[in-house]
A and B are shown apart, each in its own frame.
Chain A
Amino acid sequence: MADSKKVIDIIGAVASKIEEKKDELTALDQPIGDSDHGINMARGFCAVQEKLPELEGKDIGTILKTVGMTLISKVGGASGPLYGSAFMKSGTAMAGKQELTSGDFIACLDTSVHAVEQLGHACAGEATMLDAMIPALAAMKQAESSGRSAAEILCAGSAAAEAGAESTKDMIATKGRASYVGERGLGHRDPGASSFALMMETIADALRR
């Protein structure tokens, strides 16, 4: 699916996409959160973008771990430790690898879901990023078992992440800052689920090219 150079390119594309969409992500955070999701994510991924040149030639585990540590250090909101630990634990799982298969990607997402559940003490249905991650994981596993190509598997994951993010409109948040807003959060998309869907869309696009 992707060698380490391609992985670096894809992470760079994700960083650019987050920067491009940061106002949109922040706007989602205004009615239900503390109006900083896009700003925080862009701050973190801008720092990631600066680190990418020195990661050339490194194994995929090292690349993912460095991205994770950078996000933890730089984001400044809950998405920093959450995405950060997801990338770091995925990096540990991919240690030494020079090539990432679609099966590896699914394993990373599986690890990431557990990392986010563990750190955020959250589960499905609470209007968090997990509501995009868990459906994406399920759709990708299903596409893999029907023998689809890597690009098709990522495409299925991206579509499921987007549908999952959209479904958070109908959920009452019980975790994170949005839980203080309670029922007034109904009708609003969760920013974390939206940024995850955006990442999946960018990765799927990169693999189609």
Chain B
Amino acid sequence: MVGIVIVSHSRALAEGVIDLTKMMADGIPIAAAGGLEDGTYGTSYGRIRDAVDLVYSDDGVIILMDMGSAVMTARMVIETEEAGRRVVMADCPLVEGAVTASIDAKLGRSIDEILRDLSETGSISKL
């Protein structure tokens, strides 16, 4: 099953997004990397790295981020990833993307299939 990592400046936001996904897709490998080690706001290379390692399998890991340094820090984690491991970022809204990705992961979809679905979440109109 594809693993999912939720990166946010806020620990509460990252964990809250995961709680929300469990309403529709419980029991998948998903981990939060929110805030800094001391609980303050920010994005932590170490916490993202640990979260990726926690949910990693040969099916790969998709990282979803909120904004700014979350994107750049996630990119650094990917750049320093071991060769051969598939860890990618998805460009999508955090909440909608997390729900879509976790349902897809639970259905056993591949990383490429999930990324394709995530590429469409930003263009779906809410109104």
Contacts and interface: CB of A to CB of B under 8 A. Distances in A.
B44 interface: yes
B43 A77 contact: yes
B42 interface: yes
Interface string A64-96: 000000001101111111101100000000000
B106 interface: no
A77 B46 CA distance: 13
17 contacts: A34-B41, A36-B41, A36-B42, A40-B42, A73-B45, A73-B46, A76-B36, A76-B40, A77-B43, A78-B69, A80-B69, A80-B73, A81-B72, A81-B75, A81-B76, A85-B79, A119-B72
B43 A76 contact: yes
Contact of A84 (B9, B42, B67, B76): B76
* Chain A contact residues: helix, strand, loop or mixed: helix
Nearest to B35: A76
Nearest to A68: B76
5 shortest A-B CB distances, which residue pairs?
Answer: A76-B42, A78-B69, A81-B72, A81-B76, A76-B36
Contacts of A82: 72
Nearest to B44: A76
Nearest to B42: A76
Contacts of A119: 72, 75-76
A72 B42 contact: no
B27 interface: no
Residue from the set B40, B45, B46, B72 with the largest chain A CB neighbour count within 10 Å = B72
B68 interface: yes
Contacts of B69: 76-81
Nearest to A82: B72
A192 to B, nearest CB: 11
